[in-house]
Structure 1
Amino acid sequence: WPSGPQGNVSVVFLLTGIPGQEYLHLWISIPFCFIYVISILGNSVILFIIKTDPSLHEPMYIFLSMLAITDFGLLISTIPTILGIFLEISLDACFAQLFFIHLLQDVESSFLLLMAFDRFIAICNPLRYASILTPPRLVKMGLLCVLRVVVIVLPLPFLLKRFQYCRANVLSHSYCIHQEVMKLACADITVNNIFGLSTAVLTVGLDPLLIFLSYVMILKTVLSIASHEECLKALNTCVSHLCAILLFYTPNIGLAVTHRFGNSSSHLLQFVLGYFYLLVPPLMNPIVYSVKSKHLRARIIRVFIN
């Protein structure tokens, strides 16, 4: 690719799957297609049930619908490249994709934090639950989370656009993320490194810390409950949220660490974590919440039986 002042005009990034295992890509695309179909169907059912059933218009389910919409956006932004519809991607398309991937990932982190706040209010201050988490306030909280993430993530594509890309622009994944694209630039990427790390700290670093503090307060309140049965009942309402937290943050943090501190021997781990953190939460969130929520499960069964 040309490298002068106008060199980036014709730059494209080549997308890869498993390096050295190209002959398996067709077979690998089959489970990926299956994951996408199940994820889209599962999140669609969740959104349909919550929208059409007035009894589910409660804060917990409204937050769950926000999570499902975010997962939808993440699936749509990655489908064209992960399923191999495009084997190469232009510079601007790559920047757009990485913006939406980072945006939606960080929005999901924010919504998980809101869901932790919901559980905190429900268990620690149940008498004021309805008066604190009113529908207008829920909308404002959701919009504020999205606005916060937009402000944090928006500079990423612009910081990358100022570089020239004159190396072999082969990505080790079939999608674009900031940590990887910046390493292909023919320039000093110190500013991008610092800004990317700051972005990670302000989102997937700060949010889990606040979630942890919420659960410390929840645990403190639950342990003060005299009845053992009531204690277990209160904790049981948090199980699905805790599963969603583990599914989201474990690969996310692991991928960030391997990208910044990994070596050539960690490529396979990067590959596994890279697809796990994008595909597994949208797949598992509807399943986890459907299994653990008695009311939601009953509505879903009623829809499919009737």
Structure 2
Amino acid sequence: MPASLKVSNSSKFQVSEFILLGFPGIHSWQHWLSVPLALLYLSAIGANILILITIFQDPSLKQPMYLFLGILSIVDMGLATTIMPKILAIFWFNAKVISILECFAQIYAINCFIGMESGIFLCMAFDRYVAICHPLRYASIVSNSFILKATLFMVLRNGLLVIPMPVLAAQRNYCSRNEIEHCLCSNLGVTSLACDDRRANSICQLVLAWVGMGSDLGLIMLSYALILRSVLRLNSPEAVSKALSTCSSHLILILFFYTAVVVLSITHLSETKVALIPVLLNVLHNIIPPSLNPMVYALRTKELREAFWRLFCLGLKKK
């Protein structure tokens, strides 16, 4: 009898830990994927740390737009670190076993960070909306107090909303299988192994997605629609081109973020056989935004590029 299966008082097997098998169908050579994934992780951590250092060191960047970007960097690093060390341990050290408590904690952390990232996207969209559509009122609306309150609200909202996911998952009866065809613990992926009814988990996932990220996406799209309407009314082709270029790059990342969430939810809820593409998409969804956000939100911003250069020159002078 495997060590991960224990006999309960009711003479049924009770799972005490799970085994993460990795990517389905490619177990024999999946370790080669560790190289690009590790590079993505290192770039995400390095780029976001650089953004935080630059914002902290440069007084000219103590503005709401850059403070929100700094908060996004912290959330990105948290999201990537929630999954990547374990994934790399699976590929490099064959550390496939994860305790049931660690698995539920990972479910909570992943969904919490994803919800916070969605909330920060909304805050940044609102910041741009006020700056472009109501520039005279910007300083009074988007103040340091607003940033603090918005950040605390997003942390508390997602921290509390996500609690039912691991709680409901922990109430399921895992009596036989404990092998997960995945690199991480996803809510519906784990509960699919349960021997009893998991409809409550599916309903919870759907409701929380609509209440949290669904409302965020709707408000984000509304903000950018109002921004585009305001910009298109301008008589300056240069201003229109700049705004459209900035908004389009932001929207591409945002649409990837939410499209991946929708695809993964539909895949899990349909209860189809686990396939490689959804599992790979789930992993990439947690590592690509943290690695691309710095480039899209930071490197395309002139003030931040200049601050990077000043920080770099200062480092050379000290040497």
Q: Does 1:44 align with 2:49?
A: yes
SS of the residue 1:168 aligns to? coil
Structure 1 residue identity aligned to 2:68: F
| Partner residue, 1:269 | 277
Q: Deviations over 1:134-177 (max 9, x none)?
A: 11210111101111111210121111111220122111211111
2:226 to 210, 217, 237: 217
Q: Any conservation in 2 of the 1:43–1:72 contact (CA below 8 Å)?
A: yes
The SS at the match of 1:22 is: coil
Relative distance call for 1:112 and 1:8 in structure 2 (3 A) is farther
The answer to whether the 8 A contact 1:259-1:270 is kept is no
Pick from 2, 14, 21 the counterpart of residue 16 of structure 1: 21
Deviating more after overlay: 1-10 vs 90-99? 1-10
Assess if the C-alpha contact under 8 Å between 1:173 and 1:274 holds in 2. no
Q: 1:185 to 1:277 in 2, by over 3 A?
A: same
User: Is 1:79 paired with 2:76?
Assistant: no
Matched residue, 1:30: 35
Q: Which residue of 2 aligns with 1:297?
A: 305
Q: What is the Cα deviation at residue 75 of structure 1?
A: 1.8
1:86-97 alignment, distance < 5 Å: 86-97=95-106
CA deviations 1:5-61 (Å, max 9, x no partner) are 697875211112222322213322122211111111011001110111111111111
Aligned to 2:67: 62
Q: Give the RMSD, CA atoms, in angstroms.
A: 2.0
- Aligned with 1:23: secondary structure? coil
Q: Which stretch of the first structure deviates more once superposed, 231-240 or 188-197?
A: 231-240
C-alpha distance in structure 1 between counterparts of 2:177 and 2:17, whole Å: 10
Q: What residue number does 1:280 align with?
A: 288
Quick one: distance in 1 between partners of 2:165 and 2:279? Answer: 22
> AA paired with 2:6?
P
Residues 1:149 and 2:151 aligned together: no
TM-score normalised according to structure 2 size: 0.89
Q: How many pairs are equivalent?
A: 305
Q: 1:251·1:276 contact (CA, 8 Å) conserved in 2?
A: no
Taking only the aligned residue pairs, the percentage that are identical comes to 40
8 A Cα contact 2:19 2:96, kept in partner: yes
| In 1, Cα distance between equivalents of 2:264 and 2:16 | 26
- Unaligned segments of structure 1, at least 5 residues: none
User: What SS is found at the alignment partner of 2:180?
Assistant: coil
Query: Which of the residues 78, 103, 107 maps onto 1:98?
Result: 107
Cα pair distance change 1:260/1:232, threshold 3 Å? same
TM-score normalized with structure 1 length: 0.93
Indicate if the aligned counterparts of 1:290 and 1:297 stay in contact, CA closer than 8 A: yes
The CA deviation at 1:101 is 0.3
